[in-house]
Structure 1
């Protein structure tokens, strides 16, 4: 019996059986279409998002609404682009002769997945380079905060908030142009006003005392008594009134510093949660894209197999 001939006399196509089951041309074609559609939809989403953001208070969409809209748009972009890429990858692949139907179904599914993978990698590389810099440069600060769904923006917000919290904790109580100088000045306010070298020295000393006691956890009685004497001497207040002013001023100063630290930590925590939620929703969107691409590839492949090369449908 001649090689390649079966018992029934039919010849097996060894060329098709030994050929690769991957049509890279169809995969790259589907991936290119998916990446292009994804780019168009993402740019459209940025445009719609920016049009919904207003710099005026109580105008435009809220941050929650914009965040949910961004998540839904990313999911829609993934599904639409992946579906188109998978369908083209399945419809444009070669027609496998003498291949079992289950194997054809598996190959079509793999073609859709490959097209989605190539398109996702290409889109990610493209957006993290040229397009990412252009879009980030054109987005105002308020719009960038509203679009925390993007990984770069979220990471930047987390780093900035964490740095602010660390700086507030490290430099708490130091005299500068911040709240410390203001609270120290309130200690030495007097109806007569004015200042001199001695008053400036007293303010500097009071700032150091406040900084030290703030790190220690509270204003010590000795420091309170000493500062009240200095304040009474500089302002003409009675000892009791000066002591009350010192204690009240320190309490306000400590509360302002603690509130600033709490606000910085809350901002860092919100940014961390936004980054986590963004990553989870991005994972879900990509997973949906992979599934839709594989499913549409099987649909496109089945339509490919129902047509012969002359364009006539086969039954």
Structure 2
């Protein structure tokens, strides 16, 4: 049996017994990928704020911003993990006596581990930084939307603050429960009729139109959320494939002693 023959996942060569997995290059690639993505996402956020506007009919449309955001996420994820995978493949130590296929797989596997580690790091940081802000933003946005809806159904009248607040609370309960119960419906119809001068039938019709629009908006939001989740998952998979092949390229450049960065490996 030769000194370089492998058993399991451990190889013995002139450096002694060691695992094929080298965590130093993996962590280096993962941290580099995370840093690149953080910088590029921050840059993209600044560009997005510069082209958007809080005022109606001003700035880029919401659909346009959404499409650009998804395209930017795809570009950032692929570029950052390709860079991280290449670094890991380039830094990984070459094993004497391994076949070309084995070397390519081991380099690519390091790229995949960079991808997985980078995703976990990014998820942990994003969850830690965004949870509180997201909860606060959601709460404020929900309260603002409910108040806006109350003003819409009370248009044409002079509602007092007490009635407006009561209607806002009813809409908030409906949003939380997913439907407007019969008791709150009757109270809402009464408030609308008293403050707008509409008949009970007209007030009920206006409330029904609000409920229909609210359900359509919720269905649209769920559809957008599903599409966004699918595109994010697809982007992550493409980035993983990019990390695998980039790590293989880094390994070929390492073995050929090619100049950094993206040059053709020179056969010897």
What is the rounded CA distance, in whole Å, between the counterparts of 2:218 and 2:131 in structure 1?
Answer: 24
RMSD across aligned positions (CA): 3.1
Q: Aligned ranges for residues 60-209 of structure 1 at < 5 Å?
A: 60-130=59-129, 133=132, 162-163=175-176, 165-167=178-180, 171-174=184-187, 178-183=191-196, 185-186=197-198
**Greater gyration radius:** 1
1:31 corresponds to 2:44:
no
The answer to whether the 8 A contact 1:307-1:314 is kept is no
1:301 corresponds to 2:251:
yes
What is the rounded CA distance, in whole Å, between the counterparts of 1:39 and 1:160 in structure 2?
Answer: 38
How far off its partner does 1:57 sit? 1.9
CA 1:124 to 1:175, structure 2 compared with 1: closer, same or farther past 3 Å?
Answer: closer
How far off its partner does 1:82 sit? 0.6
Residue 252 of structure 1 corresponds to 202
The answer to whether the 8 A contact 1:90-1:301 is kept is yes
In the alignment, which of 271, 292, 306 is matched to residue 221 of structure 2? 271
TM, length-normalised to structure 2: 0.74
C-alpha offsets along residues 159-191 of structure 1, whole Å, 9 cap, x if unaligned?
9984375247661121588414225x45xxxxx
What is the rounded CA distance, in whole Å, between the counterparts of 1:293 and 1:170 in structure 2?
Answer: 57
The answer to whether the 8 A contact 1:165-1:264 is kept is no
C-alpha offsets along residues 50-83 of structure 1, whole Å, 9 cap, x if unaligned?
1122122211000100000110010011111110
- The ranges of structure 1 where at least 4 consecutive aligned residues each deviate by more than 6 angstroms after the TM superposition are 135-140
The answer to whether the 8 A contact 1:165-1:261 is kept is no
1:15 corresponds to 2:28:
no
C-alpha offsets along residues 181-218 of structure 1, whole Å, 9 cap, x if unaligned?
225x45xxxxxxxxxxxxxxxxxxxxxxxxxxxxxxxx
How far off its partner does 1:43 sit? 1.4
The answer to whether the 8 A contact 2:94-2:255 is kept is yes
How far off its partner does 1:307 sit? 2.4
C-alpha offsets along residues 271-314 of structure 1, whole Å, 9 cap, x if unaligned?
10011011010011101110100010000011111129xxxx77
CA 1:131 to 1:272, structure 2 compared with 1: closer, same or farther past 3 Å?
Answer: closer
SS in 2 for 1:15: strand
CA 1:138 to 1:268, structure 2 compared with 1: closer, same or farther past 3 Å?
Answer: closer
The answer to whether the 8 A contact 1:82-1:293 is kept is yes
1:291 corresponds to 2:250:
no
What is the rounded CA distance, in whole Å, between the counterparts of 1:87 and 1:20 in structure 2?
Answer: 20
SS in 1 for 2:92: coil
TM, length-normalised to structure 1: 0.63
The answer to whether the 8 A contact 2:4-2:96 is kept is no
What is the rounded CA distance, in whole Å, between the counterparts of 1:26 and 1:299 in structure 2?
Answer: 15
What is the rounded CA distance, in whole Å, between the counterparts of 2:219 and 2:39 in structure 1?
Answer: 33
| Long gaps (5+) in structure 1 | 6-10, 146-158, 187-248
